Amino acid sequence: MSIPAVVIAGRPNVGKSSLFNFMLGRRVAIVEPTAGVTRDRITAVTTYEDRSIEFVDTGGMGVEDIDLLTDEVEHQIQVALEKADLILFVTDVMQGVLPKDKEIADRLRRLDKPIILVANKADARHIEQGKSDFFALGLGEPILTSAVQSSGYHDVMDAIIEKLPEAGPAPQAEEEPVTFAIVGKRNVGKSTFINALVQEERVIVSEKPGTTRDAVDVYFEKGGKTYIAIDTAGLRRRSQMKHAIEFFSFTRAEAAIRRAMIVLFFFDATTGVSKVDKKLGMIVRDSAKACALVVNKWDLAVGKTPEEYERYFTEIMPGLSFAPMVFTSAKEGTNVGGVLDIVRELHKQSTVRVPTADLNEAIREAITRRKPSPKKNKLPKIYYATQVSVGPPTLVLFVNHPELFAASYKRYLANFLRKMLPFHEIPIRIIFRERRRSESKFARK
């Protein structure tokens, strides 16, 4: 049974995104007292009384977008409403019923969907008296809520469950969805790629840089496998950020990298690698997440060859030289499926567990080819190794003194093990842990 979608709708600045985060119990959508911050459909799934519910945050209805994207934002709202199983119509109890609320109520009634009226921002105790004004909307008694005061959660959730009696139990998935974050600087084609991948106008695409502001989770299925693609805001240098929304967008992109299994790092084939790319590359590298380098707009890269671009990139960003590179044109739909093939392969490598015997054989071979250099007249020794986790593969090496191993030797081991073990295109995390010599499995004399 599919998960029912509950769409949060209303005019700008009534607290839709705050309510969205409140119902989920975590910060998902950007909250900012500026009209038009939310543009795309922001979705997230939660459970209540053993039932799964998908909440959908939408842009403000009837707002004129400052970047002339009003039609695109309205299209996203309309698609969400048409797909909704239930609508949370959010109003502002402090402002009372405005003409725009009446217009929206009439529009929502025509959809013939279950509607729950929410009077938000009920932060003061005496606010109960203004509640009666909302009966004029013809949608029944409103539910008072306040994200600030953490009130109204159970009232809203109980009303949702009551109006969605067919909402099935939370599905027990056989395996977790493959989650990948799509990151890059502004206007490299990330949103265009998402739409080409899911074959739907899931996120707004515009020639104007900075269209996407929040991290947008897009659920889809391909080949019987479930994926979550996280479209993130295009980034630029912090010194060029003009307002708080851009700062929040940057932090959300960083958070998307942390929660994703795989990162698709997008570049514009028509421009060089920028300072923003280098900064983002360091964040991706330090996250130790499997990564694919996606060179988009390749159809516009006149006079370049893939081999030349790979050499150029390796020279500038050697820390990601192990990551596979794929050349695409999201606008033309070229090699979009190839990117998903790489996602599947990186996921496969990230979840491999190597037998301890095979791992220690590879360690022995690495030491044979290059011994660690002595430090302070002490010889570093590796006794044995074991893999303790996946995604990324994390190896614990038991040694005599962890501080004796230079960073260069750690890099050598990671590169060597990547070639010897089935981790060819993903980062490996190596942890040196002290072990008493009497407990060694093997040592190099």
Q: What is the DSSP string of 207-236?
A: SSTT---S-EEEEEEETTEEEEEEE---B-
Most confident of 15-19, 31-35, 36-40: 15-19
- The mean per-residue pLDDT over the stretch 303-329 comes to 91
Say which residues have a Cβ less than 8 Å from residue 109's Cβ, sequence separation at least 6: 115, 138, 139
Q: Does residue 99 have a cis peptide bond before it, meaning omega lies within 30 degrees of 0?
A: no
Tokens at 295, concatenated: 């060179």
pLDDT at site 59: 80
Handedness of CA 371, 375, 378, 384 (dihedral sign): negative
**Least confident among 53-62, 332-341, 370-379:** 53-62
Instruction: Identify any residues that bridge with 228 across adjacent strands, giving them in sequence order.
Output: 179, 219
Higher pLDDT, residue 251 or 13: 13
pLDDT at site 437: 52
Most confident of 36-40, 98-102, 253-257: 98-102
Domain boundaries, given as residue ranges, for the chain:
5-163, 178-350, 356-439
The whole-angstrom distance between residue 263's C-alpha and the CA centroid of its chain comes to 9
* Alpha-helix runs per DSSP H in 119-243: 153-163, 190-198
* Ramachandran category for residue 280: left, alpha or beta (phi over 0 → left; psi -120 to 50 → alpha): alpha
Q: Is the pTM of this model over 0.85?
A: no
Q: Which fold has domain 178-350?
A: Rossmann fold (3.40.50)
Burial class (CB in 10 A: 0-12, 13-18, 19+), 27: middle
pLDDT at 185 over 80: yes
Tokens at 268, concatenated: 């514009």
Report pLDDT digits (tens) over 218-232: 888 888 888 888 888
CATH of domain 356-439: 3.30.300.20
pLDDT at site 241: 45
pLDDT at site 396: 94
Q: Which fold has domain 5-163?
A: Rossmann fold (3.40.50)
Cβ neighbour number for residue 199 with a 10 Å cutoff? 10
pLDDT at site 3: 83
**Least confident among 166-170, 197-201, 204-208:** 204-208
**What is the crossing angle of helices 244-259 and 275-287, to 10°?**
40
pLDDT at site 164: 83
**What is the crossing angle of helices 16-24 and 153-163, to 10°?**
80
pLDDT at site 230: 86
pLDDT at 27 over 70: no
Say which residues have a Cβ less than 8 Å from residue 327's Cβ, sequence separation at least 6: 269, 295, 298, 306, 309, 335
Question: What is the chain's mean pLDDT, rounded?
Answer: 82
pLDDT at 249 over 70: no
- What's the pLDDT band for 54 if we cut at 50, 70, 90? confident
